[in-house]
Chain A
Amino acid sequence: MNGANFVVHALKEQNVTQVFGYPGGAIMPLYDALYDGGVKHLLCRHEQGAAMAAIGYARATGKVGVCIATSGPGATNLITGLADALLDSIPIIAITGQVPTNLIGTDAFQEIDVFGLSLACTKHSFMVQSADQLGPIIEQAFEIATTGRPGPVLIDLPKDIQIGPSVAHTLAKLVHSNNYLDNRLIAQAKLMIESSNKPLLYVGGGVGMANAVSELRDFIEQTRIPSVCTLKAIGCIPHHSPYFMGMVGMHGSKASNLAIQECDLLIAIGARFDDRVTGKLDEFAPNAKVIHLDIDAAEIDKLRQVTLSMTDDLKQVLPAITIKPNITPWKKHIATMKAKHVSRYDHPGEPIFAPALLRQLAQSIPGDTVICSDVGQHQMWVAQHMFVDRPENHITSSGLGTMGFGVPAAVGAQVARPDDMVIAISGDGSFMMNVQELGTIKRKKLPIKILLIDNQRLGMVRQWQELFFNSRFSETILTDNPDFVTLASAFDIPGETIKTKSQISQALQRLLTSEGPYLLHVSISEAENVWPLVPPGAPNDKMMESIE
């Protein structure tokens, strides 16, 4: 068994059944081993697409995503995907080919120091320098990617080690000891909750990553404490939960942002006080004591000084701190605010109003549908107006805000969950950034439904130019977009364009009932903006709700 065969063997030992990638010179031995090695490989049409497909796979399943690329440009093309996985704490293993060890440092063909490049965009990285390191490195890589706060790990693998003989390695059986909670902190947390008049849960993506959704729901059910969530935590709390107010932050719901400012106890659960959530940090939840629950100790006191923190497993912590406070007036107030600031979908004229379209779509899809959104205005409309009831069913680039994420992430999600409907929702700017992955959809006949919301603009940038740069629309006009339906047809993907409200119902039906992939291209006005919006530097209760 050579080194490349050993890698495939080790992947199987780690229960990897599916990888994503793109071959090239320095990784050819591994691709030879993959040829009949028993691990399925999906050829994407760009290494960035492979990385994002691996992320989509990981997020749709909770498993580790694996992507593979060659040295030099193949490896550098992975970098944005790795950064995306780092910011969103997604467990990814990236394997890159490297020139033979004797050529490293000689500026050989397709040689770049990807190990050096990886330092800022991975949780950890390895350069394999001898065959005997291969087994231990792969084992460590999987452990690092999945334990504590998950993240991407890169393994740079020189070609001579792939070709050379492997060294046997027995997979160690990892034993994770149970942590014992600090009873003093538990008692203090319960006391803080019990004595609070206006407690509020601020739920982040860490809940899903900790597989603690069930524990969170039990906690909410028993305590009846009102809640808001981050973009990455959408799906953790059932959308019909009576005191759940939706997303908080720059484009959060008005009720959420007002509640944050009014609460006297903020319980941050797997959340990290990101600037898109807090607005002006000094004025975020100004009256609140803070309990911060997060597995990553580096997040504690990073931005907001907290009253009490615990870095234990949320699955253990949440049941332990469950206590029902007497907060009837606060719950009534929350219910009133929620009702008062409910989204409205009445919109004049025949042009399509994207929020209403997305609401209608949400009401038309099966419960296990996976929504993969791209980045921009449509992403925020999806977050505001659609609803999913599992975090695995809402996949978007939250921390890095990576345009081009939606379609390749949908590829990964569809491969992971072939029996579930997967819908990629994109904008015309984002769609063009990884449009080559339509080739992957065609190649594997993936039945992905694509909803392309087209305002012929880089919409979110245009919105900010309108609001904060005196309507100087610098380089955001995309009236020269291609004919998207014709473009999709070149990849054997049927589709249609709609422009008016009266066309929506039947077009959605065709989209959702098509056997294979389908593109629904929706033309909207460039004048539509995302509301509310917390302007830069403002506190969350100073929301803009229109141009005036």
Chain B
Amino acid sequence: MKSLLIIEAKNSPEFLERLLRVCRHRGFTTTNINAETGNSQQTLHITITVASERNISLLTKQIEKIVGVKQVATLQQEKNIKATA
């Protein structure tokens, strides 16, 4: 099952490293990711597609614990997500 997550976080050099590590360690394969800073460079906007047999809430709850995360939304959850941001 693939899931598309929208994440908003405080911008920091290592944030993507933390995020990708959590995804892998919790049993989710990242199949697509896009990250951009806003105009102020203070906030990181991330769109990430992950695949796993595990329930996506197991991952989103762990992502919410990463220091600096402001918001996590599960936008889509289906067997095949054809297009991501």
Contact = CB atoms under 8 A, between A and B. Distances in A.
A144 B17 contact: no
A301 interface: yes
Contacts of B64: 297-298
Interface in B1-51: 14, 17-18, 21, 25
A119 B18 contact: yes
Interface string A117-150: 0011000100100000000000000001000000
A300 B55 CA distance: 12
Q: A-B pairs with the 3 shortest C-beta distances?
A: A298-B61, A124-B67, A298-B62
A119 B17 contact: yes
Contacts of A301: 55, 57-58
B25 A302 contact: no
Given A124-B67, A297-B64, A119 B57 contact: no
Interface string A290-319: 000000111011100000000000000000
A116 interface: yes
A60 to B, nearest CB: 27
B26 to A, nearest CB: 9
B79 interface: no
Contacts of A297: 61, 64
A115 B67 contact: no
Given A115-B14, A119-B17, A120-B25, A144 B58 contact: no
Contacts of B21: 119-120
A127 B15 CA distance: 13
25 contacts: A115-B14, A116-B17, A119-B14, A119-B17, A119-B18, A119-B21, A120-B21, A120-B25, A124-B67, A127-B14, A144-B67, A296-B65, A297-B61, A297-B64, A298-B58, A298-B61, A298-B62, A298-B64, A298-B65, A300-B61, A301-B55, A301-B57, A301-B58, A302-B58, A302-B61
A298 B62 CA distance: 6
A115 B13 CA distance: 12
A38 to B, nearest CB: 30
A409 to B, nearest CB: 27
Nearest to A302: B58
A302 B61 CA distance: 9
Given A119-B21, A124-B67, 8 more contacts: A119-B14, A119-B17, A296-B65, A298-B58, A298-B62, A301-B55, A301-B58, A302-B61
Contacts of A298: 58, 61-62, 64-65
A124 B67 CA distance: 7
Nearest to A148: B65
Contacts of B65: 296, 298
Contacts of A144: 67
Contacts of B55: 301
A119 B17 CA distance: 8
A300 B17 CA distance: 25
B41 to A, nearest CB: 15
Contacts of A296: 65
Nearest to B58: A302
Contacts of B14: 115, 119, 127
A119 B21 CA distance: 8
Nearest to B21: A119
B25 to A, nearest CB: 7
A201 B57 CA distance: 26
Contacts of B62: 298
A302 B17 CA distance: 23
